Amino acid sequence: MSTAKFTLPDVGEGLTEAEIVSWKVAPGDEVEINQVIVEIETAKSLVELPSPYAGVVGELLVAEGDTVEVGTAIITVNAEGPSRLTAPLSTPAQAALGPEAQVVQGDEEPVPESGSVLVGYGTGGHAATRRSGRRPRQAPPVPGNGASVLAKPPIRKLAKELGVDLSTVTATGERGEATRDDILRSAQQASVFRNIQTPEWPDLREERIPVKGVRKAIANAMTTSAFSAPHVSVFVDIDASRTMEFIKRLKASPDFAGVKVSPLLIMAKAMIWAVRRNPTVNSTWTDQEIIVRHYVNLGIAAATPRGLIVPNVKEAQAMSLLELASALEQLTLTARDGKTQPADMADGTITITNIGSFGVDTGTPILNPGEVAIVALGAIKQRPWVVDGEVLPRFVTTVGASFDHRVVDGDVASRFVADVASVLEEPALLLD
């Protein structure tokens, strides 16, 4: 009988510890190579760890809810045979894990070594795992499979994934069919209605929530940012009516069929354009130097059930409007599903926080650590606005931004925000 002890690996982000969230296997279960065996929570995200071995689970060495250091043995796997398990040395799992998860005979103890990372992970890679042991997502309660509502197969699939009942969707397509925006709007409305339900007071007078995982990381990052970087903030009100008209035209364009188009897309493009004109806002501060990035890894602050995370769109400055729209949509859906990987949150250069999605007009955002600028996009609402001496209803929003005053002077901050505002007022500037 050969036995392997699998130690908690560094999943490619310099981890020191992680919490065991849930085991996907139990003692006596047969496992295959790359089968997901455990879900862990790091300081940044939930990560599924695959097994590098095929065999039978021996013992779960760590309980759910426990936080353990990298290198701690968490599970044993047994197999009949000489000294190795059924996973051959040539598999990516064995090769990537190296000596960190060792096979031992009988009761021999393995000697973990540092420096190796888990299969599917690297200092900048993504997890290559297959789902196992999870309940399938419940299909939405669509009477008669939603046959009474016209919708293309991809739209029906999206509705199913978001739990939207097609029979309740107000279709706005040219032929009376449900569109992607109709589904997303219904999903957002359903989310809002769920959020405004008022629960009964619990019998428990107090609740104590352990400060760990993402919440601990958020607290440390925000404290460090608030008290190490001297923040300065500026605000501007904007007539975004032409942006709203531009979005309407994009939605009607065949090129953008099936892609979510929203004010966030134009805001993202405006940010990239303004960065090119004011490059120091896309910097990082060190005690020895200011590093100005001539590329944009555009962070989007995302509220998830586990807390605030900031994944970013890599090399956003090189993307077309359509490519950026697709990237933003994928980023949002991945964050909503809790599948954002550590590499997706690393190396951001500047951030947008879309507080307008909650109906909020403006706010004073705190910098994402390592960055010197963050911009808040407020809600876009119809308000009275003076146009050529006449008060007219216009779509108006407020943009607020915070900067690290060690790097960004007041004039640069003001010009940057003014440039963002000018694009939202006239999106045709993006054509230059």
Give yes or no: residues 68 and 187 share one domain: no
pTM, 2 dp: 0.61
Instruction: Reduce the DSSP state of residue 155 to 3 states and report it.
Output: helix
Residue 12 pLDDT class (50, 70, 90 cuts): low
Residue 101: which of 126, 132, 127, 77 has the closest Cα? 77
Give yes or no: residues 374 and 271 share one domain: yes
Give yes or no: residues 297 and 346 share one domain: yes
Q: How far is CA 92 from CA 101, 114, 167, 220, in A?
A: 13, 18, 47, 36
Give yes or no: residues 373 and 283 share one domain: yes
In a domain, 216, yes or no: no
Give yes or no: residues 310 and 183 share one domain: no
Give yes or no: residues 388 and 244 share one domain: yes
* Final residue in a domain of this structure, among 105, 121, 142: 105
Going by their DSSP bridges, the two strands 350-353 and 298-304 should be labelled as parallel
In a domain, 409, yes or no: yes
In a domain, 249, yes or no: yes
User: Is residue 195's pLDDT more than 80?
Assistant: no
The Cα 299–Cα 313 span in angstroms is: 6
Whether 405 is catalytic: yes
Between vectors from CA 430 to CA 426 and to CA 431, what angle results, nearest 5°?
A: 110
**For 125-131, what is the mean pLDDT?**
37
Give yes or no: residues 245 and 184 share one domain: no
The Cα 75–Cα 25 span in angstroms is: 10
Lowest mean pLDDT among 119-123, 160-164, 314-318: 119-123
The Cα 8–Cα 75 span in angstroms is: 9
Give yes or no: residues 49 and 160 share one domain: no
The Cα 241–Cα 395 span in angstroms is: 5
**For 339-364, what is the mean pLDDT?**
91
In a domain, 114, yes or no: no
Contacts of residue 273, Cβ cutoff 8 Å, sequence gap at least 6: 419, 423, 429, 430
Give yes or no: residues 245 and 310 share one domain: yes
What CATH number corresponds to the domain at position 11? 2.40.50.100
24-42 pLDDT, tens digit each: 999 999 998 888 899 888 7
Number of domains in the chain: 3
Residue 419, token pair as written in the block: 């440039």
In a domain, 110, yes or no: no
Give yes or no: residues 170 and 229 share one domain: no
Q: Among 126, 231, 294, 405, which one carries the catalytic annotation?
A: 405
Alpha helices, DSSP H, located in 55-212: 92-97, 153-162, 180-195
In a domain, 132, yes or no: no
Positive or negative torsion for Cα 369, 366, 307, 192: negative
Domain that holds residue 77: 2-105
Residue 85: which of 105, 65, 67, 64 has the closest Cα? 105
Burial 324-349 (b: 16+ CB within 10 A, else e): bbbbbbebbeebbeeebbbbbbbebb
Q: How far is CA 222 from CA 218, 297, 368, in A?
A: 6, 20, 8
What CATH number corresponds to the domain at position 226? 3.30.559.10
Please count the other Cβ atoms lying within 10 Å of the Cβ belonging to residue 276. 13
In a domain, 349, yes or no: yes
Give yes or no: residues 273 and 420 share one domain: yes
Residue 141 pLDDT class (50, 70, 90 cuts): very low
Give yes or no: residues 348 and 421 share one domain: yes
